[in-house]
Amino acid sequence: MKELEKTQRLSIASVLVVLLVLISLLMYKRPKHVYNTNSKNTLEKVISDDYFIGLDQINNPDYILVDVRNQIEYNKGHLDHAINIYTPELLNKINSKLLKKNKKQNKTMLLYGNNPHETIAQFMLLYQIGYKNTKILTVENSYFENKLITKNSPIENATVDINAFIKESVKNSFKALKKTTKI
């Protein structure tokens, strides 16, 4: 009899373990968004540079413009036919549905913000969770007399040769020095 008690304890323990597994299975919610590319592929995509679209190319029926700025700025002025997905709300339910719909219809989403910097995080995130139909519209938006001015914006070009500037400044100062010493 004593032995039976012991085995009962064992079976109770194992039933508890099984219950635990079942409960964790039932409680488990599959995350809505999971990565479907690894970091290496993402890096290759990022280097490839084929995800930039200029302002002159947007007249394509397959393109959907996505404004990543907040609602206030969107209401103040946005490009024609643009939809608004504010960055922090990118992964919420409504926007997820929207993203899925666009993916199904094979539309390409063009992200734009006040400048291209504002879109890079969204673009890379969307790319990594499987929305490969995303591109960046390289534009800069600014306001002039309450009207939205949109112009192309170059990505990452070196504007000045700093070493040359420093050398020049040193030369100039030498000249100045010579002048002062002459006088």
Contacting positions for another protein (CB under 8 A):
6-8, 10-11, 14-15, 17-18, 21, 24-25, 28, 31, 33-40, 42-43, 46-47, 87-88, 90-91, 116-117, 120-121, 124-125, 128-129, 155-163, 165-167, 169-170, 172-177, 180
Looking at the Cβ atoms of 60 and 97, the one nearer to another protein is 97
Looking at the Cβ atoms of 15 and 60, the one nearer to another protein is 15
Q: Identify the burial level of 74 via C-beta atoms within 10 angstroms of its C-beta, where 0-12 means exposed, 13-18 middle and 19 or more buried.
A: middle
- How many Å apart are CA 119 and CA 69, to the nearest integer? 9
Looking at the Cβ atoms of 37 and 108, the one nearer to another protein is 37
- In the bound complex, what is the minimum distance in angstroms from residue 147's beta carbon to another protein? 26
- In the bound complex, what is the minimum distance in angstroms from residue 80's beta carbon to another protein? 26
Q: What are phi and psi of 116, to 5 degrees?
A: -60, -25
Count Cβ atoms below 10 Å from residue 150 Cβ, excluding itself. Answer: 15
- In the bound complex, what is the minimum distance in angstroms from residue 33's beta carbon to another protein? 4
Looking at the Cβ atoms of 162 and 183, the one nearer to another protein is 162
- How many Å apart are CA 152 and CA 53, to the nearest integer? 10
Cβ atoms of 52 and 155 within 8 Å: the answer is yes
- In the bound complex, what is the minimum distance in angstroms from residue 106's beta carbon to another protein? 22
The 8-class DSSP code of residue 141 comes to E
Task: Indicate the pairing of strand 108-112 with strand 139-144.
Answer: unpaired
Looking at the Cβ atoms of 33 and 107, the one nearer to another protein is 33
- In the bound complex, what is the minimum distance in angstroms from residue 59's beta carbon to another protein? 25
Which tokens sit at 69?
């700025």
